[in-house]
Structure 1
Amino acid sequence: MAASHFSTQQYPSSQFVESCGAILFDLSSPSSARVCLGNILAKDEWVLVKGRRNMNESRKDAAIRELYEETGYRGKLLPVRLATRVTVEGDAADAPDKTRVHEGLTEPFMCTVREVPSGNGVKIIWWFIAVLEDGSAERGPGEATFRSEFFGCEEAVEKLYFETDREVLRRAISIINDTAAHEA
């Protein structure tokens, strides 16, 4: 029996969990974009909000639901200019597996894979980009364990507690800037 030529790790459903998060931007003033962070009150750590995907829920829906549950803000996915390896409708069945840039996508822009403590599998986090729904900064209750607040992009990067969150946010900011530059 032949082994795969690619480095491979496989996990049964009992050893992986999917989470989804959306980086929420307030673009009401394009020259001074702001981003929403969550503060875990018990630890006083600023983080990007995310949470587990429910059974039969799409990743996109999970990201928007978690955003609202944790921050109280209603968001919608923002179509962005994205370099990706996904195929698009109308591609040939044998389309090459290569990176291409597409306009107007609401696909995940990053995926984080973390080992679960005790070596019991992995957590896969799908990251999306969102904006305030209808430009409204009206806030619902959010989770009691979180406080959410908007910051300028650079300040938000500095506030984040985890370097991996900083990497995700820097990438999201870059995509927002690239999308805006190509729309101008």
Structure 2
Amino acid sequence: MAAYMWKTTVYPSDLFVESCGAILFDLSGPTKKVCLLHYGARDQWLLPKGRRNCNETRQAAAVREVREESGYACVLKPVTMATRAPSELEAANVRDAARTYDGLTEPFMLEVRDLGEGNGVKLVWWFVAELAGWDDDGPPAHGEAEAHFAPQFFECEMAMKRLTFQKDRDVLRKAIDLAESSGW
């Protein structure tokens, strides 16, 4: 049998779970703000994310999870970013290399968590989003957040300091960089 050229691990469907999350920006004021969730039981500050349902797109899961966990409706925000995914306009055999595209609502980061011996992995796809529902009467309505989360908006640099985990800071830093390089 031939040896494969790349180190590869395969997981059957019962040994992986997909989650989706989004960095929720409030772009209404003079400074960008980000929604963090306070998980009171452990006194942790987190980013909104959760499991993707069967037959649900990753984009839809990210929007749904933000709404469920924070109580805020959102829309994915297009950004300019590099990706190895080809555009729909390129030939099927286009070279596998990073190219930069404008206006993408694709995941900007993938987090892979090893769930321990025999438990598989958790994949977390991260998106960029903004509050939805602004109108002439003011800010969007805030629905009910999941009971164990208290959502709060912070200016970006304060949010970076407030997050409990470094990996969340890394995700947020990349989202802020994308927001800035996308001109908003």
Contact 2:20 2:65 in 1 (8 A): yes
Q: Which residue identity is paired with 1:72?
A: G
1:40 aligns with 2:39: yes
* Equivalent residue, structure 1, for 2:17: 17
Mapped to 2, the partners of 1:77 and 1:103 lie a distance apart of 14
Select 2:167's aligned residue among 157, 164, 168.
Answer: 164
Deviations 1:77-99 (A, max 9, x none): 00110111111111011111100
Q: Which residue identity is paired with 2:72?
A: Y
* Equivalent residue, structure 1, for 2:119: 120
* Equivalent residue, structure 2, for 1:3: 3
Deviations 1:156-179 (A, max 9, x none): 011000100000000000000000
Greater percentage in helix: 1
1:110 aligns with 2:109: yes
* Equivalent residue, structure 2, for 1:95: 94
| TM-score under structure 1 length normalisation | 0.95
Mapped to 1, the partners of 2:92 and 2:125 lie a distance apart of 25
Q: Which residue identity is paired with 1:74?
A: A
Mapped to 2, the partners of 1:17 and 1:86 lie a distance apart of 22
Select 1:149's aligned residue among 148, 152, 159.
Answer: 152
For structure 1, the 5+ residue unaligned runs are none
Deviations 1:45-104 (A, max 9, x none): 000110000000000000000000000000000011011111111101111110011000
Mapped to 1, the partners of 2:39 and 2:114 lie a distance apart of 21
* Equivalent residue, structure 1, for 2:66: 67
* Equivalent residue, structure 2, for 1:133: 132
Find the residue that maps to 2:173 and give its secondary structure: helix
How much has 1:118 moved relative to structure 2? 4.1
For structure 2, the 5+ residue unaligned runs are none
Find the residue that maps to 2:86 and give its secondary structure: coil
Identity across aligned pairs (percent)? 51
Q: Which residue identity is paired with 1:25?
A: F
Instruction: Give aligned pairs, total.
Output: 180
Mapped to 2, the partners of 1:80 and 1:28 lie a distance apart of 17
Find the residue that maps to 1:125 and give its secondary structure: strand
